[in-house]
Amino acid sequence: MIVSTVEPSDEALAARAASGDDSAFETIVSRYQARIYRLACRLTSDTDAPDVLQETFLQVYRHLPSFRGDSQFGTWLYRIATNAALMHRRAQMRRPAASLETFLPRFDDQGMHAATPAELQIAARADELLDRRLLAEKAREVVARLPDLYREAFVLRDLEEMSTADVAQTLGVEPATVRQRVHRARLMLRGFLSNLVEVRS
């Protein structure tokens, strides 16, 4: 007997799951659960991520029959997960976040960088210069402190590594808006890392 060792595609599994094959649905869940959990942690918090994970796959199960294959299955699933995370977050009381504006780059009267090249470079080596656990803790805190609009764009574009076009489609905004939000987030985070290295060393 010849046994195929080729993994079935997401789309093939989705079609089987939609017609009532629960083992196909379980395969989809095991294929994506770690990625969706990570996304949920980045968009909400460790505390809320398990709920977002459950809600996402329940929605996927319910809506599988309406998955048309217009987009890739993964993109479709990420859209559901992102919406579940954003809905969940909006349902929570938002704590006023301390402003990260203070970490934006500074310029002199001539429009030139105020910091020295060494100071401007240092954030690039944050992972070499800082303790790994400290960096993990601080990085998660600072991502949570980003203003919501910047956070969702940055998480999808830079942490989940989606294309700008896919992020725009997922969030329902123009690509230029995605670029502008991701850029602001990067500037704040770059400055935050820089400050963290200076304070710690």
Partner 1 sequence: MSEVRCVSGVELLMDYLEGVLSVEMHAALDEHVAGCEKCAAFVASYCETPRIVRDATAPPLPSDVEESLKLFLRARTTAFRRN
Q: How far is the CB of 135 from partner 1 (least distance, A)?
A: 5
Q: Give the CA diameter of the chain.
A: 77
Instruction: Determine if 69 is a binding residue for partner 1 (CB under 8 A).
Output: no
Q: Which residues contact 78 (CB under 8 A, 6 or more apart)?
A: 39, 156, 160, 162, 170
Cβ nearer to partner 1, comparing 3 with 86: 86
Of 8-16, 20-28, 74-82, 90-98: span binding partner 1 (CB under 8 A) = 20-28
Size of the site for partner 1 (CB under 8 A): 60
Query: How far is it, in rounded angstroms, from Cα 146 to Cα 75?
Result: 24
By CB under 8 A, residue 99 contacts partner 1: no
Q: What backbone phi and psi angles, to 5 degrees, belong to 193?
A: -60, -40
Q: What x/- string results for residues 174 through 193 when contact with partner 1 is judged by CB under 8 A? A: -----xx-xx--xx-xx--x
169 closest CA partner among 160, 177, 158, 181: 177
In the region spanning residues 105 to 144, those forming contacts with partner 1, defined by CB under 8 A, are 105, 107, 110-113, 115-118, 120-127, 132, 135-136, 138-140, 142-143
3-state SS, residue 172? coil
Tell me the C-alpha distance between 197 and 122, whole Å: 7
Task: Give me the 29-68 binding string for partner 1, x by CB under 8 A, dash otherwise.
Answer: x---xx--xx--xx---x--xx--xx--xx--xx------
Give the H/E segment covering residue 15: helix 10-18
Using N-to-C axis directions, what is the helix angle for 49-63 and 22-43, rounded to 10°? 140
| Site residues, partner 1 (CB under 8 A) | 20, 22, 25, 29, 33-34, 37-38, 41-42, 46, 49-50, 53-54, 57-58, 61-62, 105, 107, 110-113, 115-118, 120-127, 132, 135-136, 138-140, 142-143, 154, 158-159, 161, 164, 179-180, 182-183, 186-187, 189-190, 193-194
